[in-house]
């Protein structure tokens, strides 16, 4: 069975068309299946998201192919990494609980719409984003 993962890559504005062409040529990921978000906190880089399908049993070194890519998840218009989501939960719960059952904590996803939640240099970072295409 194939495994599909959602990736986000930070791309300089001037290289977006080249990157989309690369995805199509190398991985048959057409522009219609690529989404671009403006990073409202950084004018130079945009966030390009796409799904990559990995055949069963095959290993792909994502760091080598996409050095600036992150495995992400999506909830509505919120993009996030699992580590960042865990950090949000930890901040929400506070120090009062020793072992956290992360799955039992509810997140107010309305608060994170049009945001990308990630860990940057060990710190929680919440970027304001706007979908371009």
Answering whether pTM is above 0.95, one says: no
Q: What is the SS3 assignment for 15?
A: helix
Residue with tokens 């219609």: 32
Q: Which of 46, 54, 59, 65 is nearest to 5 (CA)?
A: 54
Number of domains in the chain: 1
61-118 pLDDT, tens digit per residue, is: 988 988 889 999 999 999 999 999 999 999 988 766 668 888 888 999 999 999 999 9
**Could you list the residue range(s) of the whole structural domain that residue 103 is in?**
3-131
Interatomic CA distance for residues 36 and 102, integer angstroms: 30
């Amino acid at each position: 069975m194939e495994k599909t993962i959602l990736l986000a890559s930070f791309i300089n504005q001037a290289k977006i068309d080249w990157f989309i062409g690369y995805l199509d040529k190398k991985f048959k990921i057409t522009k219609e299946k690529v989404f671009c978000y403006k990073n409202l906190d950084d004018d130079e880089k945009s966030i390009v998201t796409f799904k990559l399908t990995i055949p069963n049993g095959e290993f792909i070194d994502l760091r080598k192919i996409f050095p600036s890519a992150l495995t992400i998840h999506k909830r509505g218009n919120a993009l996030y990494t699992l580590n960042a989501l865990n950090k949000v939960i930890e901040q929400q719960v506070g120090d009062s609980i020793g072992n956290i059952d992360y799955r039992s904590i509810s997140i107010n996803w309305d608060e994170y719409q049009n945001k990308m939640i990630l860990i940057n240099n060990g710190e929680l970072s919440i970027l304001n984003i706007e979908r371009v295409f």
